Structure 1
Amino acid sequence: MFQPVGGMDGIAQGFEREVGDLITYNAKVASLQQDEDGVTVTWEDAAGGGEAQTSTADYCVCTIPFSILSQIDHNLSGDLSNKISSMPYNGSTKWGLEFKRRFWEQDEQIYGGISYTNQAISQISYHSTGYFSDGPGVLLGGYTWRGANS
């Protein structure tokens, strides 16, 4: 299993490094409108007093969860709008466990990867970094999704 150095936040940090001056933090999207010429996004600058501003572009990569996007003014197609409004979500639970030593490496020679179980925890994930380190280590102790165990 591969993961960004330093954790999953490395992906967002990579985008920030490449396009940092184009990013606006603390912005609340109020409207998302598209037409044959591109997309127009109206947003409020929460850090700058909440004034409405507008940005236009050829494309918009929208990562707003559907449960929030369904509450934002938009002119997306009827089919897409229906999908956004009716998307079901499932519960999930994920937790990490810190141990005094990396017993999975020292005793079982497990270096990264996942062990699937038939227990409610579903799976255990082992770090793919810091092999052979002394001292404490962290496991993804369980990751459940869908159903009563979540």
Structure 2
Amino acid sequence: MNLVSPVIVGIIYCLLMSLIKEPHRRHFNAIMVGGAGAAYLSGGGFGPWELPFVALTAYVAYRGLDSWAFIGVGWLLHTAWDMAHHLKGNPILPFYHDASLACAICDPVIALWCFRGGPSLIALVRRRFRPGRTADHAHDHVSVPS
């Protein structure tokens, strides 16, 4: 499996989410992580244990409506669930054996972005490369008193 592609998918996810203005970005991501928690229900790889996991991620997603940190925790919980399903041989996409492993690589990328507060990556890039800003002064943030 290509280990770079899932990282790129995670970055693209964060870039696309950057198009949504706050607070809607946080709310939308809380919904997304809640949905991710239910992704394995149809496969039922862990039988009735799938249900408590869905309940846990629903709670974390609900708390994520007000907290990026909870959304990040939700993505890390999903990472653990992805790995469990991968090791059991019950992937999220039954036709792609490494789907859960790929998801387990992608999700922490999203979690890291969430732990940073889900900033707009587009705005960060724009600030970094705005016209008139030179590379020599890109890290100058010191103000000199007059």
Scaled to the shorter chain, the TM-score interval is: under 0.3
Q: Tell me the TM-score normalised to structure 1 length.
A: 0.25
Q: Tell me the TM-score normalised to structure 2 length.
A: 0.25
Counting helix residues as a fraction of each chain, which structure ranks higher? 2
Higher Cα Rg, which structure: 1
Counting strand residues as a fraction of each chain, which structure ranks higher? 1
